[in-house]
Structure 1
Amino acid sequence: MKVFGKKLREAAAQLGLSSADVAHRAQLSERRYGHYVQDNREPDLATLIRIAKVLNTTPNDLLGFGEGSEKPSRHSLLFDRLRAAAQVLSEGELETVLVLADGLAARHKKRKAK
């Protein structure tokens, strides 16, 4: 399953996550996750699903069965990074991020109205 490790590295890089970040968020040891990244081992289904959720992708994409022909837009990649980061924030931290995002959206809306 040589494609799996490559897909893990690519998905993490798109989100700006290190292997340690992904392992922590998927509730895995860094060593165990490292085996998957290096194609030394394959995860069980439950672990594969947890990893896919952390990387904001699907098991099919990680296994090389996804469409994969279209390169995601920069906006889409940034949105995916934001979603991945939000998964580890506390409720208070998430509210702070939402206040900031709402403020930026309102500013953008005012600029478009002019």
Structure 2
Amino acid sequence: MDAKITSALPFLSFLLFLLCLSNHTVESRAPFACDAKNGLTRSFKFCRVSVPLHARVRDLIGRLTLQEKIRLLVNNAAAVPRLGIQGYEWWSEALHGVSNVGPGTKFGGAFPRGH
């Protein structure tokens, strides 16, 4: 084997290793409350997509206690483990119109005003 190839082999192997690591993706989103693999949530009416939306919403709201409903209204919404609902940071949603978090659209520069 050529001496140049032999000396470059460790470097190329390391480079290939780094490429393999960078290609590894991890799911960054929290799972939905209605996880088909979760036996607890599978039985909830609000998880059945065949049920009309208004009935699903009524079922979910009916299962939440007053305390849980209140805790879901704040910026740092607490989890409701008994229903499979993860905690959520609402500030990251840009409900106020501006966010630098996540893959959403970001506009640089000034916007022209409407007259």
Q: TM-score range by the shorter chain?
A: under 0.3
TM-score by length of 1: 0.20
> Under a length normalisation based on structure 2, what TM-score does the superposition of the two structures give?
0.20
Higher relative contact order (CA 8 A, sep 6+): 1
Return the index of the structure with the highest Cα Rg: 2
Higher helix share: 1
